[in-house]
Structures are given as C-alpha cells and as structure tokens.
Structure 1
Amino acid sequence: MKKRLVFITTIILMIALLATACNNSGNKEQSNEGNKSSEEKTKISIWHNFAGDDLRAKAVRDLIDKYKEEHPDVEVDAQAIPVDGYRQRLSTVAAANEMPDVFFVYAGSQSQEFYDADKLQPITELMDKYPEWKNNFLAGAFDRYEFEKGQIFTAPLGMSATSFMYYNKDLFEKHSVKVPTTWEEMMAAIKTFNDNGITPIALGNKAPWVAQSTIIGSLADRVTGTEWFLKAAAQDGASFTDPVFIDALGKYKELVDNKAFQDGANSIDNTQAEQYFIQGKAAMMINGAWSLTNLAASATPEQLAPIEVTTMPGIEGGAGKANTISGGAGAGFALNKNTKGAQKQAALDLIYAVSGPDGQKAIAESNSMVMYKVELDKSKVSPLYFKAYELAVNSEITPVYDAYLSAEAGEVINNGLQELMMGGKPEDVAKKLQDAQARSTKK
C-alpha cells in the first residue's frame, strides 16, 4: 500500500512538472514572439522645439501623434524641447555626432553650419515623389535650403514674415492721419501722433534682434535693393560701407531722431511692445507674423477690432521696391546624414506627414504663417491673421538680414541698431558690420 502511494505521488509530480515545462515553453515562445515583434519595428527619433501651449506647437505635436497612430510598425522617439534651450542641445549632440534622425532646423546660419559639418542629407527624393506638394510652395521657399544645385535639404514649415506694419485705424481716423505709403507720409504721421501725445511706433528692442528683423531688413531693402544686399552679404561686389547702406542706416536714425519709438524702447521686450500697441498707446507697430498669434491669444475682441495690417511705406528714390515684406522660409525638419535604410524611409514619411499639405494647412489654421498656398478656412483663423496671410501671399518677399549674414555680423548689426538709438553714427555701425562680414567670409 505504501509503495503504491509513493508511485501515485511520483506520477502526479511528474505530470505537474511536465505541465509547468510546457507552460514555460509556451511563455518563452510568446516572449520570443513579442521580442521579435518589437525588434521588427523601425525605430526613429525626432527633435523639435514645439513644447509650448500655443496653437502652432499643439498642431505640430498632433501631426506627429497622428503619424504614430497610422504607422504602428514604426517606433517614434519624439522629444519636444523648450525653445530657449533647443539650439544649444542640438549643437551639443551634433558635436558628439549623435543627432536624431529628424530634427527641426532654422534657415540661415544654423542650417548652413550643419550642412558644412556634413550633418544633413537632402530630401529631394521626397520632393520628387510628391511634385504637387513641392510646386505649391511660394517662390523662394527653398532658397536657404538648396546647398547643392538641384538638392533640397528641408521643406520649410513656416514663413518668416518679419515686417508687417500693424496700425490702429481708430487712431489714424481720430487724428486725420493718412496710412503712410511713402517715407514723407511716414514722417508726417510720426509728427502728428507725437504732437497729440501718442507714440507713433511701438518697439521692444531689449533683445536687439527685434529692430534688425522687423525694421532694418525691410527699410534697408527699399533703399539699397535686394541685389545689392545679397552682393554685400557674399562680399562680392558690394560693401556695407557703401554710401547706399549708410543712407539706409540714416533712415533708421531718422526714425529715432524724430521720436518714432516710445522712450526706453531698448529696455522693454517685444511682448511688452505688443501690449503697449494693443492697449492703444501707439498708432503703429512694425513686427513679424508671430505677433498675430500673440495678439490673438492675449487681446480682447474689442482691442483687435481696429487693428489693420499693411506693408512698410516705400522710399522715394530708393533702389528697392515698395509693397514688400522681409522674410523668407522659416525653419523646417531636416534629415540626419547617418540615417539609412528603413529608418530613412520612415523618417522621410514622418517629414511629409508634418510638412506635407495636411501639415501646412493645420499650421496655417493655427494662425501661423506658412510659405505654402493654402485654402484657409476663415472660421478657424482670426480676421487679422487672414488679412496678413493674404497680404504675404500677394507680396514680394525680401531678405531678412540675419538669414544671410554670418552669426558674428548678425550680432554686430543687432547691437549697432541699439547703438544708433543711443546716439551712434551710421558710418561707425556700417564699418563694424563690414569688418565682421568680411572676417566671416574671409574676404
């Protein structure tokens, strides 16, 4: 009886062990299948600076999330990095040759530096795959991203329209002032508003890029013409010490000397200037498209109602055209030189998902400028934005200085405009700018 009990117990233990082994084998197979499935996923990374709560940032993040949902076979590591630290972090990983597969890069000196360092590869094949998309960009959209003939290195996700002239029509009507279309009319408007205790033009130049980006590019182009500036930037047949550029700086000094800007313009920031303007304390504000989003978010409907938008006035006798806006292609998503194979294809698909027609429309309808022809749904944008977008699409775009100058020269002109506002001389600023650009181009 005892032997029989031992035998039965042994049989039961063996069955239990066998069942456990089979179960573990099945779990192992399932685990292996899970690992295999995970390993088969294509993994890509994307970095951008759309970390805020503004409509544009949310639109871009939504586009990336939509790509993830529609591509379950792709694992996307997306990092949204705050604007203030983005450039530095990108430069750090570039130096270590550890850049993400897709990354947001600015037109001008930053993208040029990455190209020179062999960090980029073209996305021309993506453009060729979708010719209708490529052909719907506005003229000049790829100018700052064609580092090699016939090769495009990014699709701009926005338009850097920097010199809209916003004005309060109620103030103009109350004081019988004509919206200026010539320099003479601008000077007359400035005098009338000053005589009536109203700041003519709101400016917040604490961060000195503001006056350069919003005013001098557009103002100087009307004096020098675009061709002269491009030659001077390339140090090829023109110099920033040429009389025509000193004259352009003189026009800016004329604004300063005639008290066009509020007192302390060099000590308040751009946001404070926007609030100063929207509160009716200034008749005009020369600023970029970013103000459209800022004002839409912070101003009341009553404050926005009298605001109109136009271009800066022309300058009689100048070599440049009137009715132009300084700007050009904004930043866009670039492709890492080291991304190959399945990762490259997934990365290109992601770039198209964010920068393609649907992406451009989503960003445009977040009240942000795009360098792309879009059929806007007027119910989704502010009336002021719609007017500005129509103005931009139908205006010629002229260069923003810091998109063509070296980083050193860009800093010189930024500081030089502050210097002019504190009594400096145009000739001195022009000399410093010429020296900086010559050093940077080795000419």
Structure 2
Amino acid sequence: MKSIRKMSLLLLIMTFILAACGDSGSTNKAEEGTTTKKDEKVKLTVWHNFAGDDLRAKAVRGLIEKFQADNPNVELDAQAIPPDGYRQRLSTVAAGNELPDLFFVYAGSHSAELYKAGLLQPITEVVDQNPEWKGKFLPGAFDPFTFEPGQVYTAPIGMSATSILYYNTTLFDKYKVKVPTTWDEMMTAIKVFNENKITPIALGNKAPWVAQSTIIGALGDRVTGTEWFKNAAAQKGAKFTDPEFVKVLNYFKELSDKKAFQDGANSIDNTQAEQYFIQGNAAMMVSGAWTLTNLAASASEDQMKNIDVTVLPSIPGGKGEANTITGGAGGGLALSKRTEGAAKEAALKLIYAVSGPEAQKAIAESNSMVMYDTDIDKAKVTSLYYKAFNLVKKTTITPVYDAYLSAEAAEVVNNGLQEIMTGGSPESVAKKLQDAQARSVTP
C-alpha cells in the first residue's frame, strides 16, 4: 500500500510540473507573437521584368523603390529580370512551387496557366476596397485576369497596344502618297516607295513574335472578325485551316511578295527596325506601344515630330471592324497562393502602389500606354506619344493572337510567318497551326 501511495504522489507531482511547464510555454509564445506582430519586419519577395533602361521600366522600378522607402517595416527583395529570360525563369520556379510572393504576369494564356495550376490567389479585396480606382480602368481591363466570377487576380500596370501604324509624314508628303486607309491604297504606297528606293515598312522579325504580334493579329481580325478567332482558339466551330484564315496568311504573303519589308527583315531585331525607321530609311512601321517608350529614350524630338500614327487599313469584304488595334490589358503583379498573413497584406499594398491612380499617371507620363482613364501633362511626354495616346483612346481593341493561343501554337505561327517570308506556303502554316492548337485544347 505504501508503495502505491508513494507512486500516486510522485505521479501527482509530475503532473503539476508538466502543467506548469505548459503554462510557461504558452505565455512565452503569446508574448513572442505580440512582439513579432508589432516589431518584426515583413519579408516580401517580388519578381518583375522591368529591367531595361526605357522610361517605363525606370518608372515602375521607381514606384517599387518609393514603396520600400514608405514602408521601412517591409524587407523587400525585388528582382528585375530581363524580359527575354523572364517567362522561362518564372516557369522553372513555378514547376517547383517556389514562386516569389509577387511576380509579374502577362495577360492571356500566361496568367491563365498559372491560375489553372493553382499557383495564384485573388487580389479582389484591394480592388473592392478602392471602388473609385477600380471604376477608372478602361472597359475590359480586368477581363484577362478574372478567372471566376467576381474574383480579380491582378490589376494591369499598362496597356498592350501592338499594331499601331507609324508613318513618316515627310516621306509621304515628298512622294505625294496618301496615308493608306484601304488595302489598295497600301499596295499603291508600297509600290511608290519601292520605286523611289525607300523601304515601305520597317520590320525586325529576328525574334519571330514581332510579325505575329504587330501585323497578323490585326490583319486577321479585319478578315475573320474577333468571334471567329476566339472560336478557332477554343477549337469550337472554327479551325485555322478554314479558308478565311488561309486568306489572312495570303494577305501577309502579299506584303512580303510585294517587298513591303526591307531585305533581311528576319535577321534584324525590333530595336534595329525602330532605328531604321526613325532615321528616315522606311516610310512606315507597324509596331506596338513599346516603340513609344523606346523612341522617347533614343530619338530626338526633331525626329519624332515628323512621325504620325494611325491604324492598319481595312480589308475588302472583311468581317471585322476597320478602326481597331490589337492589344488589351498589359500585365500586372500577381499574388502567390502561398503568401499569407502580414506578407499578404504588404503584397496587396505594393500592388496598389504600382497600379493605383498615381502609378497609372506616372507610367503614362513615361510614354507608356495604360488601360486607365488618367490625364497626362502634355509637356512630360513626346509629341509622338501624345498622338498615339489619343489614337488608342478612340479605337477598339482586338485580340493579340499569342494571348489566346497555346505556347506551342504561338511558336508555330511565329515561325510560320518567317517561313512565308522565305517562300513557305500559307496552307502549310495554317495546317501546322491548327494541329498545334488542337493538341493543346483537346483533352
């Protein structure tokens, strides 16, 4: 009996000791938690591709740096990765589910694929908390980033306008050429400039996305209309082997056959083409809004004052509208599914800092298009940007092909346009594109 009583007493003492230890631990953790919430810095990682010396890249980096200065409690690790390698690097970390807290995503298939992989979380709360800001985005701005009803996954930092027709007014006046509004007028302009040893259209298609992004989408929409393209991309009731799309490729072939582009267009890059154009060697160039920021950084106002902008000409019998430019919402910062707590709060705050009203104005005044209704100071932008800014405001935006095509299909059409420029068959390119898109859509 004595041994049993001793053992019971021992067990009772041990119970009190363990309970005391448990209480002590709980008190310490609560105190530590209070200290962490109040005093500890929040770590936040950000990846973006605004790594260049163009004015927009500098403006966005400046907004991120201002956020850091205004929020000293946030320990910010911001990495600027050059655009050429950005998507591949992001794909690599996404495959290992090791994405940073915030990362720049492109509108279209890029952000959609990340969403489908379960790697994103919505930013709806910061959008809904700022209704006046939300209401000033242009129509369709959030569409590429709304993957389920009522849930927004990023706010666009800029606007992608990819098929602006730039033209040199001095050359058009000198050779008495009408700025083309119809396909026949475009063919006449090409003929006259070639006869006078002036390149009609500057093109730098070494990176083969250029012809697709700047020319083929706009031509395609004029011929087929927007709905047909979206159906073909979804493989619902339309195929890229349909006669209307082969017709699109034949219009592109006609440009190439009529020597619209300078010799070696597939061996020079887009920046070289911009310089070739601004130096007066070409009468026209079909390019995107990025050219505005590039020329603002590299060309003189004397060079730019002779440049004007318009849209590509209409196509006879086409099903699409004439007064359109391909493009849409630009990319924005997306939020990793894994980011929680104080880091998530800081991340949402940074998203607003780089895409809020003041940020949109700053980016617009860096000679870069925004999908936001903002006023800009004419004195802060180039004359060329101001013309383009007002042109885009009054035109309809239609899809860029690679924003809807799978990565494989986009590569096929990009390379296919190079093939057509070197004698390839439009029918063959159409067949390869159809096969590639069908593989990506069919389960």
Q: Would the TM-score normalized by the shorter structure come out above 0.5?
A: yes
Between 293-302 and 261-270, report the one with greater CA deviation: 293-302
1:93 and 1:426 map into 2 onto residues whose CA distance is 37
State the match for 1:212 in structure 2. 212
Shift of 1:372: 0.9
Shift of 1:211: 0.3
2:54 and 2:271 map into 1 onto residues whose CA distance is 15
1:170 and 1:140 map into 2 onto residues whose CA distance is 37
Per-residue deviation, residues 312-349 of structure 1 (Å, max 9, x unmatched): 11112100011100011111000011111222111111
- Residues 272-291 of structure 1 aligned to structure 2 (within 5 Å): 272-291=272-291
1:247 and 1:288 map into 2 onto residues whose CA distance is 24
2:305 and 2:383 in contact (8 A); partners too:
no
State the match for 1:404 in structure 2. 404
Aligned residues: 411
1:242 and 1:76 map into 2 onto residues whose CA distance is 51
State the match for 1:3 in structure 2. none
Per-residue deviation, residues 91-126 of structure 1 (Å, max 9, x unmatched): 222222221111111112221221111110011111
2:329 partner SS: coil
Shift of 1:294: 1.3
2:245 and 2:430 in contact (8 A); partners too:
yes
2:424 and 2:398 map into 1 onto residues whose CA distance is 27
Matched, 1:111 2:102: no
1:176 and 1:42 map into 2 onto residues whose CA distance is 63
TM-score by length of 2: 0.90
State the match for 1:56 in structure 2. 56
- Residues 11-30 of structure 1 aligned to structure 2 (within 5 Å): none
Shift of 1:36: 5.2
1:147 partner SS: strand
Q: CA RMSD in A?
A: 1.7
The one-letter code matched in structure 2 to 1:378 is K
The one-letter code matched in structure 2 to 1:296 is A
The one-letter code matched in structure 1 to 2:315 is I
State the match for 2:85 in structure 1. 85
State the match for 1:143 in structure 2. 143
State the match for 1:442 in structure 2. 442
2:92 and 2:428 map into 1 onto residues whose CA distance is 36
Any gaps of 5 or more consecutive residues in structure 1? 1-31
TM-score by length of 1: 0.90
Shift of 1:232: 0.3
The one-letter code matched in structure 2 to 1:169 is T
Between 394-403 and 266-275, report the one with greater CA deviation: 266-275
State the match for 1:303 in structure 2. 303
The one-letter code matched in structure 2 to 1:146 is T
1:221 partner SS: helix
State the match for 1:318 in structure 2. 318
State the match for 1:182 in structure 2. 182
- Residues 240-259 of structure 1 aligned to structure 2 (within 5 Å): 240-259=240-259
Shift of 1:213: 0.3
Shift of 1:165: 0.3
2:53 and 2:274 map into 1 onto residues whose CA distance is 19
2:304 and 2:383 in contact (8 A); partners too:
no
2:93 and 2:409 map into 1 onto residues whose CA distance is 25
State the match for 2:336 in structure 1. 336
- Residues 132-171 of structure 1 aligned to structure 2 (within 5 Å): 132-171=132-171
2:118 and 2:423 map into 1 onto residues whose CA distance is 43
State the match for 1:200 in structure 2. 200
2:182 and 2:315 in contact (8 A); partners too:
yes
2:239 and 2:151 map into 1 onto residues whose CA distance is 30
Per-residue deviation, residues 250-299 of structure 1 (Å, max 9, x unmatched): 11111111111111111111111111111111110001111111112222
Per-residue deviation, residues 173-214 of structure 1 (Å, max 9, x unmatched): 111110000111111111111111111111111111000000
1:361 and 1:315 map into 2 onto residues whose CA distance is 36
- Residues 38-77 of structure 1 aligned to structure 2 (within 5 Å): 40-77=40-77
Shift of 1:424: 1.3
The one-letter code matched in structure 1 to 2:436 is A
1:45 partner SS: strand
State the match for 1:353 in structure 2. 353
1:286 and 1:364 map into 2 onto residues whose CA distance is 21
1:124 and 1:52 map into 2 onto residues whose CA distance is 30
2:301 and 2:382 in contact (8 A); partners too:
no
1:170 and 1:65 map into 2 onto residues whose CA distance is 42
Between 60-69 and 276-285, report the one with greater CA deviation: 60-69
Shift of 1:39: 5.5
The one-letter code matched in structure 1 to 2:378 is K
Matched, 1:235 2:235: yes
1:57 and 1:36 map into 2 onto residues whose CA distance is 38
